Structure 1
Amino acid sequence: MFGKIHKEMNTFTFNIKTLEGHDELLTYMSTGVYASIKLLIFSSSTFSLLIKMVFPFIISLSILLLASSLGLFPSAVNALLLITFSLCVFTFVFIKNCKSFLISSIKTSKNKKEK
């Protein structure tokens, strides 16, 4: 899966025609987390699909955790907390990894266009 995401990102960055386009993308990536996620979703359909699959799990587990901590459901709060925390950490690390790969891919593509 990571190989497919990296391949899609490389294809996206090598299709940028101008050096100004590379600079604009690098500037856009450094503006914030939301902008980075939008560009990652645009550059890779596999990344988009994975995020669309993971976020509902995080949201539903968070709701279950909240409901069980309020006493609405007799459930193991520690297990739900651990699962929710693990999914959040996985998502954060995955986004950071993809962001750094996309930045390096943009820089590599820019260097090849300069030569």
Structure 2
Amino acid sequence: MKIALCHLELSCGPQERNLCVLEQAVRLAAEQGADWVLTPEAAVQGYYFYYVNKNAVVAPQPSPELEPLRKLCCEYGITLFLGCGEYDAACDKNFNSCLVFGPDGEL
């Protein structure tokens, strides 16, 4: 089993940029034979997204913006451990989570 640890500069976002960088990194790791790909903490939104905008509310996960990453899991048969913010409506708070997409693209 090959595990790719993606060391990427994603901490300041914005999310759109981070998603482009993540797609490139996941594809590269998969093409190099990785079975599991692990991203940094809060990779999607950026580590400081909440400090930049205290009113930020993360979309329910998995959000449509993650679809390209989910498709890469299916295309390459990899497991993706994705550092991502998650919103809990019950307590009205954002949380730092790890979403895991399997080789079938399912969360």
Shorter-normalised TM-score: what interval? 0.3 to 0.5
* Larger RCO (CA under 8 A, 6+ residues apart): 1
Q: TM-score, normalised by structure 2?
A: 0.35
> Over alpha carbons, which structure has the higher Rg?
1
Q: Which one has a larger percent helix, Structure 1 or Structure 2? A: 1
Q: Which one has a larger percent strand, Structure 1 or Structure 2? A: 2
